[in-house]
Structure 1
C-alpha cells in the first residue's frame, strides 16, 4: 500500500489527525483509494491501557457493523442474483417462528422493518434464549415509513441465509465473500490477539482485545450477521476496490445489484439503499457505513474513490459520543474534496 497523501485530501487527513491530537481517539488508520492509487497512513496509539503502545501498520480491528455490508449484505445480494430470494419475500417464508408476515427482505435490508421491543437482561442470555427473544419482537408504528437502524434486521437476514444455504452466516461470509475476494487477514476468530487493536475496557469482560465487543455477537457467535468481523486496512481496501470494480469480482458481488446500490431502495423513498446509507453528493449519492467501535467505509462509484477509516473510538471507554459528529465531518470533508 502506497504512502503519502494526495494534495486534494490534505484537509481530510488533517481532520483525521486532529481526532488524535485532541484526545478524541487514541489512534487512527486510514486509506484513500483514487482509481488505481491508494494513499494511507497511521497516526497515534493503538492502546492507552494497561500501557500506552503506538499504532503500527497492519493491525487488526474489530470492525463491528461493517460486518453487515461486507458480509451479510454480500451473501444476500448473491441470493437475490441467483433468484433464491426476492426483495418482496416475507421473512416468515424462511423463518416460520417469526410472527410478522408483513416484514419483507426489503424492509430488513433498508432498516424500515419497524421492529421494536425490549429484551430484559439481553446481554446475560445464552444463544438459544437470545435467539428466541429476538424472534418474538414486535413491529411498531415505524414499519415501512421510517428508517431506524437496528442490528436485528441483519440478524434476521443472516438467519434467512442460513435457512436457504444450510450453514451459519459467519461461515457463509467466510466462504462466499472473504476467501474468494482474497481478504486473508479477515476473520471472526482472531488467532493472535496481540495483533488486534483493543476496544473497550469493560467492567464485566475486562480489556477486549481480539474478542468481539458487540454483546449480541459475543452470545450468538457464528450465527451473528450484524457484527463480529475482524479485519485490516489492507483487506478493507481490497473490499472497496471490488465494489468500485464489481466486474472483477462477479462471483462475489453481483454486478447488476452492486451498480444499483446508489439508488433509494426503501419502500416509501425515505433515503436509504440496501445495506448502505446514502450520503447526498453529485452526480450520485455516495455509499457509507460505520461501526460502533469507530470504523467507517465510504465508497463513491461515480468518482472511483473510497475511504477506509479505522479507529478504536471506544478505547478505553464507551460510548465516546463526541466522536460521532467528528466522524461525519471527516466523511463530508472527504466527499467535498473530490
Structure 2
C-alpha cells in the first residue's frame, strides 16, 4: 500500500485505485529518488478516473509543493492534442488530403514529393542544420525552416522531428487563415471544454516551472521549447499548457468516440494501426504505437513531451493514462528519466491488463 504524505493527494474509486497501486508506487519512486521534482497523474477506465499528485512543482529557487489545478507545459503533447486533430478534421471535411503535397500550401518548400501523410507519420525525411536557430526572429526562423532539405530517410524510415508538425500547423493556417494555436483553441480545446488549457497563461505562478536556463532564467508560464518560444502562435509542435483534469477530459473524449471526439470517427477507428507509407514503422497519425495483448492482440497509442509528460490510450479497452512531470527542472536534459518513464508505462500496461480483465 502506498503511504500518502502531505505532498501526495489522490482521489477516485477505491477498487480501481488498488489496481493501479504498482504504477502509483513507481510514480512516487520517481519523485523520491529525485528523477522528477513531482508528478500529476490520472488513470481512466471508461467513466471512472483515479487522479493524484505527488511531490514538488519547484526545487529552484525554492521548494514549492504541487497544487491542484496547475498548468504544465506539455511540450510535444501539443502535436497529438492539437495539431493532429485540426489536420484530420480538415481532411474529413474535404479541405485537405493525406496525399496532398506540402508544396501545394507552402510555396517556398522545394520538395513536392513530401505529403501530409509523411508529415503526420514523421516519414518526411526532412533534415538539415540552421545556424544560430534559437537567435532568429520568428520570420527568420520561418524562412530558414523552409530551406531545409529531404534526405535518405524519406518515405522509408520514421524519424521523429518537430519540423513535421510545424509544417502541418502552417498548412492549416494556409487553409483556414488563422494561426495554428488559435485553430487548436477553436477546434479542439473549446469544443471539449478544456477551459484551463491555453497557449498564453495569464498567471505564470499557476504554471509548473521547467528549466532554470542560463539565458532565460527560471522558465515559467512561457514555452520551454526554443522553436515554440520563437514562433509563438504559429507553432504546432509545442507550446500548449494544460492541466491534468483537461487532459483527462481529452482522453475520455478520444476513448468514447462519437461526436464528442476531437478526431473524426473515420480516423479514430484507424488510429491503432501503423499509418506510415510502408506500414511497419510503429507510427500512426501523430501518435506512436505500443503493442499489448489485452484482451487480444492490439495496439495502444501514446505520445510524450520533452518536459516530462506522456499520454497513453487503449482505444480497445477504453483505458488511459495521463502522466505530467517537469523532468527538466531544474536542469535539462535529465536523460535517466527516459528509461524510468518507459518502465513506468510498462508497469501501467501490465496493471491495465488486470483491470481490463
- TM-score tier by shorter-chain length is over 0.9
| 1:311-326 superposed matches below 5 A | 311-326=325-340
Count of residue pairs the alignment pairs up: 337
Give TM-score scaled by structure 1 length. 0.98
Match of 1:234 in 2: 245
CA distance in structure 1 between the aligned counterparts of 2:347 and 2:315, rounded to whole angstroms: 17
Q: Select which of 278, 294, 299 maps to 1:268.
A: 278
Partner in structure 2 of residue 284 of structure 1? 298
Trace 1:1-338 onto structure 2 (pairs within 5 A): 2-3=11-12, 6-249=17-260, 252-269=262-279, 270-282=281-293, 283-337=297-351, 338=353
Q: Give the C-alpha shift of residue 7 in structure 1.
A: 2.1
Task: Report the Cα offset of residue 6 of structure 1.
Answer: 2.3
> Deviation of residue 28 (structure 1)?
0.6
Q: Please, which runs of 5 or more residues in structure 1 have no aligned partner?
A: none
Q: Can you give the 5+ residue segments of structure 2 that lack an aligned partner in the other structure? A: 1-9
Q: Deviations over 1:256-313 (max 9, x none)?
A: 1112100010001222101000011123100100000000000001111000000000
Q: Aligned partners of 1:57 and 1:17: how far apart in 2?
A: 17
How far off is 1:9 after superposition? Answer: 1.3
SS of the counterpart of 2:333?
Answer: coil
Q: Following the alignment from structure 2 to structure 1, what is the Cα–Cα distance between the partners of residues 78 and 238?
A: 5
Instruction: String of CA shifts for 1:225-261, please: whole Å, max 9, x gaps.
Output: 00000000000000000100121415x3211111210
Q: Residues 11 and 52 of structure 2 are in contact (CA less than 8 Å); yes or no, is this contact kept in structure 1? A: no
Deviation at 1:57, TM superposition (A): 1.8
* Aligned mates of 1:224, 1:171 — CA distance in 2: 10
TM-superposed deviation, 1:2: 3.9
User: Secondary structure at 1:285's aligned position in 2?
Assistant: strand
How far has the Cα of 1:83 moved from its partner? 1.2
Instruction: Determine helix, strand or coil for the equivalent of 2:181.
Output: helix
- The Cα offsets for residues 99-118 of structure 1, whole Å up to 9 and x where unpaired, read as 10010000000000011100
- Runs of 4+ that moved beyond 6 A: none
Matched residue SS, 1:227: coil
Query: Which deviations, in whole Å up to 9, do the C-alpha atoms of 1:10-61 show, x marking residues without a partner?
Result: 1111111100010000001000001111001110111001110111221110
